[in-house]
Structures are given as structure tokens and as C-alpha cells.
Amino acid sequence: MGFWSAVLLPLLICLLLFIGFFSHSEKIAKLPGPMVWLQFAGAILAVMGSLLLPMLIIFIAYSVNNIEHKSETWKSLFSLPIAKWSIYSAKYFYALFLVLLCLTLFVLFTIGFGNFLSVLKPELKFNEYHIEKLLTQIYFKLFLASLGILSIQFLLSLLFRDFLKPMGIGFVATIAGIIMANLGWGYAYLFPYAHAMLTVKSLKPSNIANGPAVPQITVELFTKDIFVSLAVAVAVFILGYFIVLKKSVK
């Protein structure tokens, strides 16, 4: 279930966007190439930073663990001659892989649908600009920004059987993160749930006021929020292992 959600989500969203651009092509046709791309990719990125990415992570972390909760297989997994460390880390890295897969597909589908649009509607100046490198950098940064939340959500989903607890905690924390990031609170970078939003916010081109001129976007990969995200990810991952080690399997 987690796997298909990681595949279908980017596909559906990019498809919707494609339809949107396709049917309103005359409005966008006036824009220069870079702006068309930025509008196209930016529409996804805007939601991505706020709700989409955290929710996706909450869901992936839940589904990877829920499959064992639902089938009551934790006890049989932990009574196999396999180190607890292997079971725990295999689960974690699968969740990590799903997040990476999903974000990669977002990049591929964005570029793919963009180029497809430029074939169908040459008047949209998609072919005037290449966004591949920039987009890859942005999504890679988003991936790094999501690691902190992933570790926390993974642990929550491992500990709680039901969906509501990890989902509720994650949802409230995400909202708090968005508010912090949007208020520009100085310490927002310490809060993992704000990292996706901070990443997207940091992309605001400096010369946007100049109207249709080509905006300059540079991605600074290793900002302090990314370091916090990585540190939280590693710390919670290790902490989670010790909890698994101590925990009784019901």
C-alpha cells in the first residue's frame, strides 16, 4: 500500500497539473520559458512544502509498520533467528526508499509532463529552459529535509498500533511547523516538521519584484535546518532501536 501510494501520488498530482496547464495554455503562453517551468514545478512545490510532504511521510511510515501490526506478525518476526537490528533497520530503510522513490518520481513526472506539454502545445515555451538540474537539487533538499520527520513518524508508527496517534501527532506538529516557518520564527529550523516548509520558502527568488524577468533561484543544499533534520533523523533512529530492543512484543 505504501509502495503504490508513493508511485500514484506523484503521478496523479503531475497529471492534474498537466491537465490544468493544458486547458489554460493560452494564459500561460505569454510567459517566458523559465517562468512557465517555475509555475509548473512551483505549483507542486508550494503544496509539497506545506502539507503534502509531511503527510506523505506520515502515511508511508504508518503503512510500513501497519502491515506488521495488522497481521500480528511482529511477534513472529522477532522470534525468527534474525537480529532485531536487521528487522528494525530493514523496515526503516524501506520507508526511506519509498520517500526517495516518491520524490524522484515527482522530479521525473514534472519534467516528463512538462516536455509532453511542450510537444502538444509548442506555444508554451517549455523548450526554452532546462529545469532538470535545479529541480533535482530542490527535491534532493526536500528529501534531506524530510528525514527528521521520517524518523519520528517511523518510531511513532512502530510503537502505536492505531493510525490516529501517529497521524494526529504528525498532523498537529506539521501545522505547528508551517506556522513557525511562515512566521519566520528564528528557531523554526530546530523543529523537524518545519523543515519542508523552510526549504520551499528558501527558494523565493530574490528579484521577484521585477515582474516577468527571469528569476534567479539558487539552492543552498546544506543549510542549518538540513543539518538539524539529519541530526534528528540519526538520533531518533538510534533511540528507536534501543526502544525496540527493550520493548516487549505483545
Partner 1 sequence: MVISTEGLSFNFGSQQVVKSLSLQVPEGSIYGFLGPNGAGKTTTIKLLLNLLKTDQGSIHIFNKELQSNRISILSEIGSLIEQPAIYLHLSGRENLINRALLLQVPEKRVDEMLDLVHLTDAANKKAGKYSLGMKQRLGIALALLSDPKLLILDEPTNGLDPNGIIEIRELLIRLVTQHKKTVFVSSHLLAEVERMATHVGIIHKGEMLFQGSIKDLETISQPQVQVELDSTVDAANLLKKQGFLVTDVNDDHLSLPFTSKEQMGEINSLLNKNEYTVYSIRKVHKDLEKLFLDITQKA
User: Which residues here bind partner 1, judged by CB under 8 A?
Assistant: 67, 70-76, 78-83, 246, 248-249
Contact 56, 64 (CB under 8 A): no
Rounded to the nearest whole angstrom, what is the least distance from the CB of residue 7 to partner 1 in the complex? 17
Rounded to the nearest whole angstrom, what is the least distance from the CB of residue 160 to partner 1 in the complex? 18
Distance CA(240)–CA(155), nearest Å, equals 6
The three three-digit cell numbers of residue 208, written as one number: 521577484
Rounded to the nearest whole angstrom, what is the least distance from the CB of residue 48 to partner 1 in the complex? 30
Number of Cβ atoms within 10 Å of the Cβ of 20? 13
The smaller minimum CB distance to partner 1, of residues 204 and 250, is found at 250
The smaller minimum CB distance to partner 1, of residues 82 and 179, is found at 82
Length of the chain: 250
The smaller minimum CB distance to partner 1, of residues 23 and 79, is found at 79
Contact 86, 32 (CB under 8 A): no
Rounded to the nearest whole angstrom, what is the least distance from the CB of residue 228 to partner 1 in the complex? 34
Report DSSP state, residue 51: I
Look-up: residue for cell 506538529?
173
Q: From the CA atom positions of the chain, what is the Rg in Å? A: 20
Contact 106, 78 (CB under 8 A): no
Rounded to the nearest whole angstrom, what is the least distance from the CB of residue 150 to partner 1 in the complex? 24
The smaller minimum CB distance to partner 1, of residues 76 and 207, is found at 76
Task: Give residues with Cβ within 8 angstroms of 152, minimum separation 6.
Answer: 170, 192, 232, 236
The smaller minimum CB distance to partner 1, of residues 70 and 130, is found at 70
